[in-house]
């Protein structure tokens, strides 16, 4: 500790300490490989799944990839519509069924369509309601099984979306979803507000799930790759 003489020294030491904890989970999402590459977005209601899907799609479109959406949140009619609206803005088609349809059936059709139409990336939205009759985790497992049968190795990314403003609750969500569904990547949304995202430290330390992106707003371009050093600096509050 001899080298810490000023506030700035202390802050830099803290940044380095936190950065060291976060570096192991700084693993960018790579969608090159399996075609179509299938991403299943998971997370409880309101965390920002659908918005994040649109932002991700924008990133892939900018890489000249062909993207398809699957509207597997059939629980609310408005959820299907919301995804379609984003799709229309981006020029992306959405495979959908009726409201209340079996989400796995939508996933199946979307997987088939993605292959038939030569898509590079298929992104599946999903419902996030907990505590209802149909067990959410079982429903998500069924989606995974169905797409896995249709496309080898799919879903290639089981992406959990958590909301930074949920703090400790986000840790519980990560544990629960990971236990049931083997999460392969995390997106942390709403870091444009006052939330500092301190909850990622235990996630990084004990779950060791890669953090792919962070959401910093409600618009299409507000998704940036997770960088351990930048995140640590924001947590400590240094430029």
Ligand X SMILES: Nc1nc2c(ncn2[C@@H]2O[C@H](COP(=O)(O)OP(=O)(O)O)[C@@H](O)[C@H]2O)c(=O)[nH]1
Judged by CB under 6 A, the number of residues near ligand X is 18
Which of Mg ion, ligand X, none interacts with 31 (beta carbon under 5 to 8 A by kind)? Answer: none
Which of Mg ion, ligand X, none interacts with 167 (beta carbon under 5 to 8 A by kind)? Answer: none
**Binding-site member from 25, 29, 43, 59 for ligand X (CB under 6 A):** 43
Which of Mg ion, ligand X, none interacts with 215 (beta carbon under 5 to 8 A by kind)? Answer: ligand X
The residue at minimum Cβ distance from ligand X is: 215
What residue spans of 93-181 are helical by DSSP H? 103-116, 136-150, 168-181
Which among 182, 144, 153 is positioned nearest to 33, based on CA atoms? 153
Contact between 48 and ligand X by CB under 6 A: the answer reads yes
Q: Is residue 125 a contact partner of residue 93, using CB atoms and an 8 Å limit?
A: no
Task: Name the burial class of residue 113, with classes exposed (0-12), middle (13-18) and buried (19+) by CB atoms within 10 angstroms of its CB.
Answer: middle
151 vs 173 by CB, closer to ligand X: 173
**Binding-site member from 58, 156, 190, 212 for ligand X (CB under 6 A):** 190
What are the strands, taking DSSP E only, across the chain? Answer: 37-42, 67-72, 93-95, 121-126, 157-163, 185-189, 211-215, 223-225
User: CA-to-CA distance for 106 and 70, rounded, in angstroms?
Assistant: 7
Contact between 197 and ligand X by CB under 6 A: the answer reads no
Contact between 16 and ligand X by CB under 6 A: the answer reads no
For 71, the 3-state DSSP assignment is: strand
CB of 80 to ligand X, least distance (A): 11
Residues 69-108 touching ligand X, rule: CB under 6 A, are none
Which residues neighbour 9 within 8 Å (Cβ) at sequence distance 6 or greater? 3
Contact between 225 and ligand X by CB under 6 A: the answer reads no
Binding site for Mg ion (CB under 5 A): 49-50, 79
Contact between 49 and ligand X by CB under 6 A: the answer reads yes
Contact between 179 and ligand X by CB under 6 A: the answer reads no
Phi, psi angles (nearest 5°) of residue 101: -70, 165
- State the residues that interact with ligand X by CB under 6 A: 43, 45-51, 128, 189-190, 192-193, 215-218, 222
């Amino acid at each position: 500790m001899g080298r810490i003489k000023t506030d700035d020294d202390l802050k830099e030491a803290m940044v380095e300490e936190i950065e060291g904890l976060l570096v192991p989970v700084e693993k960018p999402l790579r969608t090159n490989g399996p075609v179509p590459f299938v991403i299943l977005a998971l997370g409880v209601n309101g965390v920002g799944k659908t918005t994040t899907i649109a932002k991700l799609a924008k990133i892939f479109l900018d890489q000249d990839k062909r993207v398809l959406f699957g509207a597997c949140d059939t629980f609310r009619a408005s959820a299907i519509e919301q995804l379609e609206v984003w799709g229309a803005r981006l020029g992306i088609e959405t495979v959908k069924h009726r409201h209340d349809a079996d989400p796995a059936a939508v996933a199946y059709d979307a997987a088939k369509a993605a292959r038939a139409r030569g898509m590079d990336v298929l992104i599946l939205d999903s419902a996030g309601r907990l505590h209802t009759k149909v067990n959410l985790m079982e429903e998500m497992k069924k989606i995974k099984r169905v797409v896995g049968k249709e496309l080898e190795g799919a879903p290639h990314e089981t992406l959990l979306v958590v909301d930074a403003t949920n703090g400790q609750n986000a840790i519980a969500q990560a544990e629960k979803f990971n236990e049931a569904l083997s999460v392969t990547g995390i997106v942390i949304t709403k870091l444009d507000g006052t939330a500092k995202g301190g909850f990622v430290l235990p996630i990084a330390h004990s779950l060791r799930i890669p953090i792919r992106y962070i959401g910093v707003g409600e618009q299409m371009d507000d998704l940036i790759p997770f960088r351990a050093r930048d995140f640590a600096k924001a947590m400590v509050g240094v430029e």
